[in-house]
Amino acid sequence: MGVMAPLGLLLLTGALVSASARTPNVSLGEGQGAAAESDRPAIHFVPQLANGTVGLVGDPNGLLYDPVHKVYHQFFQWSVQHREVWGHVSSTDLVNWRQHPIALQSMNHGVYSGSGAILSDAARTPVLSFAVSTHMSIGLALPANRSDPDLAVWEVLPAPIIETTHCTGPPDKLCVIMTR
């Protein structure tokens, strides 16, 4: 089956899609379980767990370009064994993608919607922000090793950067009641 689309990255239904007919390091619908479904597009990115299962891929979060290492990073919501985590893939050309270990996970709550950015500091530090499953706080994560071009390990700051409160003050004061 030939692919007529131009090479590049397309975001389709919350998952990465490469317009390359056969891309190394990316499952393209071959194998076991959901990855082999006949209705799955032939060039649909499918993350794989070590045991070969897929889980449920949610929406993309935190598409970053790391200007230091010249690498693109895509983070995405991923339901793995009934836990919401952030999966992570990277590419130097937006065609060939490598899967990395889970980037963000919580022992107590799921990790949901969020974003990624590159700080304007001298190190051009990547940063991820995310909501926990209670939608009551926003967390922040930084790479554990900035010199790693894969940004394979992320460290979550110990305290949330935004936390909801119970409003007891006057109505003219800012009061965060829920985050989404």
For 82-101, the pLDDT digits (tens) are 788 999 999 998 878 889 99
- State yes or no: is 148 an active-site residue: no
What pTM was estimated for this model as a whole? 0.68
pLDDT in tens, 105-130: 876 777 888 999 999 999 999 999 98
Find the angle CA(15)-CA(124)-CA(142) to the nearest 5 degrees.
60
Per-residue buried b or exposed e for 107-144, using 16+ beta carbons within 10 Å of the residue's own CB: eebbbbbbebeeeeeeeeebbbbbbbeeebbbbbbebe
Give pLDDT, residue 84. Answer: 85
Give pLDDT, residue 159. Answer: 72
Nearest CA to 23 out of 55, 47, 45 is that of 45
Q: Which segments of the chain have a pLDDT < 50?
A: 1-32, 35, 179-180
Could you tell me if 40 and 32 are in contact, meaning their C-beta atoms sit under 8 angstroms apart? Answer: no
* In CATH, 9-163 is 2.115.10.20: yes
Among 59, 66, 148, 150, the one annotated catalytic: 59
Could you tell me if 75 and 66 are in contact, meaning their C-beta atoms sit under 8 angstroms apart? Answer: no
Q: Rounded to an integer, what distance in angstroms lies between the CA atom of residue 17 and that of residue 81?
A: 24
Domain assignments of the chain as residue spans, ordered by start: 9-163
